[in-house]
Structure 1
Amino acid sequence: MADFASEGESVGALAEALDGEFVSTLRKCALEHGTAIVAGMFERSCDERRPYNTLLAVGADGELLGAYRKIHLYDAFGYKESEQLTPGDVAPVVVKIGDTKFGLMTCYDLRFPELSRALVDAGADVLVVPAAWVRGPLKEHHWTTLLTARAIENTVYVASAAQNGRKYSGLSQVIDPQGVAVAAVGEADGFAVAEISGERLAEVRKRNPSLANRRFTVTPR
């Protein structure tokens, strides 16, 4: 939809409701091309200067399948995202596309394994992670390491779409439940195509039943 504002400024003027022009355009695109779309937007909140960072899932029929308001705001590495955005409620959002369930999370959420586990507990087969992962010392290493860890520890696919350019790291990729990057894009513009296999998911979980063997459960609060 749009990039973030400069420090001290607001993205509030860019925000729209879920029945606004941006979502309507996404729905038309999905219907026209016969494909599901996951995309981010700034959604109006009760604070006109601090909207939600919302992730939308639209089905191939143009219907809005779900909306996830980013929970964890990026108040780290010298940045203060909470000055521009309002956090969403602590609740996992999972949508079904065909026979596959997709758990929605955004950028900085990747650093919090409890959200990934809550999404898997809610039935997610794939974690979808759009991100504007800011460049910096070791940041690219953190990105790839955390994506791989979320896939391995939850025995799920992780599909990440990351902005690139001078400010952001790029490195979009799809990782399978064993932590193997089955498709990837480097720092340049591009796209990656990967097949999500239910058989692969079942086979990995049979060989590595870490979800079945765990002793703790996650209860969102």
Structure 2
Amino acid sequence: MRVALCQIAATGDPVRNLAAVRAEVDRAADAGARVVVFPEATMAHFGTDLSAIAEPIDGPWASAIARIADEFDVLVVAGMFTPDGARVRNTVIITGLGRHLGYDKIHLYDAFGYRESDTVAPGRDCVTVTVDGVALGIATCYDIRFPALFQRLAEDGASAVLVPTSWGAGEGKADQWEVLVRARALDSGCWVLGCDQADPRTAGIPVQPGAPTGIGRSLVADPSGVVVARLGAEPGMLVTEIDSNAAVAARRRTGVLANRSHAVH
């Protein structure tokens, strides 16, 4: 199955970002992609007043994403924010090909001096979706530091995990990003497809200091942890093929699921 990772630099304006999504989905569909992935916070970058722009997954912004997915006959996966009382949810909308659902980020980024939980409520439920016979798990950014989630998605049938991301910049963070994507692929025997926000500086977009607004470097690791494709810091699109048979073969070789002891959980 062909998947496109669209490494955009989102602005603080959901309408402007929606136009960027449509343009990228058009390009991705032309390249033969069945699944088109965008970063976390595609609706509006971090540093924006999230409560002011949050909408439910049946609201205007997500409904517009659904119409784009239907127009181009693809599954679109993109980060947005949904209301949750005094806070919001960091939600990935998964829409198209007869589906319309959301995944709420489970692990919140209370790290490196940032406190996502001050404004975002955590999710609880794992999400998978099947396209053309390939089961896809969903995770978001900081989730990548928690191997149990990826193993759970693999046990739920996922051959690949899509990871919309807005990775915080800082010393050593780019190296950590690649190591974590590759490690989660090995942990779970899944393809791991990390789609980060482009570095906003490469697109001339002003951001709030300290907000995790992306470093680019989207990449794809196969189920053996080998990087098969990657982007630089600037906006771009990566189109890759994933094969569920490779996940089956990797798990057979390593035994990462069959030999996992639940006694340590």
Deviation at 1:137, TM superposition (A): 0.6
SS at match of 1:214: coil
1:78 to 2:124 alignment: no
Deviations 1:175-206 (A, max 9, x none): 10011111211112111111111222222222
- Whether the 8 Å CA contact 2:57–2:93 is kept in 1: the answer is no
TM-score, normalization by structure 1: 0.90
Choose from 210, 213, 220 the match for 1:174: 220
CA gap of 1:218–1:34, structure 2 versus 1, over 3 A, is: farther
Q: Look up the match of 2:157.
A: 123
- Whether the 8 Å CA contact 2:161–2:191 is kept in 1: the answer is yes
Q: Look up the match of 2:104.
A: 69
CA separation in 2, counterparts of 1:211 and 1:152?
Answer: 11
SS at match of 1:51: strand
Amino acid paired to 2:249: E
CA separation in 1, counterparts of 2:172 and 2:136?
Answer: 29
Which one has more relative contact order, counting CA pairs under 8 Å at least 6 apart?
Answer: 2
**Residue-pair matches, total:** 211
Q: Look up the match of 1:44.
A: 83
TM-score, normalization by structure 2: 0.75
CA separation in 2, counterparts of 1:102 and 1:53?
Answer: 19
Q: Look up the match of 1:60.
A: 97
Q: Look up the match of 1:16.
A: 55
- Whether the 8 Å CA contact 1:174–1:182 is kept in 2: the answer is yes
Amino acid paired to 2:92: L
- Whether the 8 Å CA contact 1:151–1:177 is kept in 2: the answer is yes
CA separation in 2, counterparts of 1:215 and 1:194?
Answer: 33
CA separation in 2, counterparts of 1:100 and 1:209?
Answer: 21
SS at match of 1:42: strand
Amino acid paired to 1:17: P
- The 4+ residue runs of structure 1 with deviation greater than 3 A are none
Deviations 1:39-90 (A, max 9, x none): 111101122xx110001111234x30x31111111111011111121112x2
Moved more, 126-135 or 91-100: 91-100
Deviation at 1:218, TM superposition (A): 8.7
- Whether the 8 Å CA contact 2:141–2:165 is kept in 1: the answer is yes
Amino acid paired to 2:110: D
1:185 to 2:228 alignment: no
Choose from 244, 247, 257 the match for 1:198: 244
- Whether the 8 Å CA contact 1:106–1:129 is kept in 2: the answer is yes
- Whether the 8 Å CA contact 1:125–1:157 is kept in 2: the answer is yes
Normalized per residue, which structure has more strand?
Answer: 2
Unmatched 5+ residue regions in structure 2?
1-42, 202-212
Deviations 1:88-124 (A, max 9, x none): 2x22111111211111111111111121122112111
Deviation at 1:217, TM superposition (A): 7.0
CA separation in 2, counterparts of 1:30 and 1:152?
Answer: 31
CA separation in 1, counterparts of 2:64 and 2:136?
Answer: 22
Q: How big is the alpha-carbon RMSD for the aligned residues of Structure 1 and Structure 2? A: 1.6
CA separation in 2, counterparts of 1:177 and 1:217?
Answer: 25
SS at match of 2:258: helix
Moved more, 25-34 or 167-176: 167-176
Amino acid paired to 1:79: Y
Q: Look up the match of 1:30.
A: 69
